[in-house]
Amino acid sequence: DAGITQSPRHKVTETGTPVTLRCHQTENHRYMYWYRQDPGHGLRLIHYSYGVKDTDKGEVSDGYSVSRSKTEDFLLTLESATSSQTSVYFCAISDSEDSGSPLHFGNGTRLTVT
């Protein structure tokens, strides 16, 4: 299995507080992604990175920011958490942007915003 670790695994926070989720990989893969998964929806891309300090927005990026200062770490920050950001967050990696290259996912972070 691809070496991807997400932390924390569970987080409960209050509305308006900042939250940072961490994704760490040991595969030296270039591409890293943050998704959220909500009932009744497909996985939705928040942000992705194609290299150190190279990031771009996905379809649901509002309210989120990311940073990638090292190949192995990709951080997702909610500057001021809202209840609509209660979700399960998955980090994923791939070694290529080629269409056939599958994503490998971390075990997810369950975030609850009260």
Partner 1 sequence: GQNIDQPTEMTATEGAIVQINCTYQTSGFNGLFWYQQHAGEAPTFLSYNVLDGLEEKGRFSSFLSRSKGYSYLLLKELQMKDSASYLCAVSDSNYQLIWGAGTKLIIKP
Is residue 100 involved in binding partner 1 (CB under 8 A)? yes
Query: Considering the rule CB under 8 A, would residue 105 count as an interface residue with partner 1?
Result: yes
Member of 16, 18, 51, 102 binding partner 1 (CB under 8 A)? 102
Shortest Å distance, C-beta 41 to partner 1 = 6
Question: Should residue 107 be labelled a site residue for partner 1 when binding is judged by CB under 8 A?
Answer: yes
Judged by CB under 8 A, the number of residues near partner 1 is: 17
Cα 76 from Cα 98, distance rounded (Å): 24
CB of 3 to partner 1, least distance (A): 13
Full DSSP string of 27-95: S--SEEEEEEE-TTS--EEEEEEEETTEEEE-TT-TTEEEEEEETTEEEEEESS--GGG-EEEEEEEES
**H/E element, 102:** none
Our finding on whether 93 is near partner 1 (CB under 8 A) is no
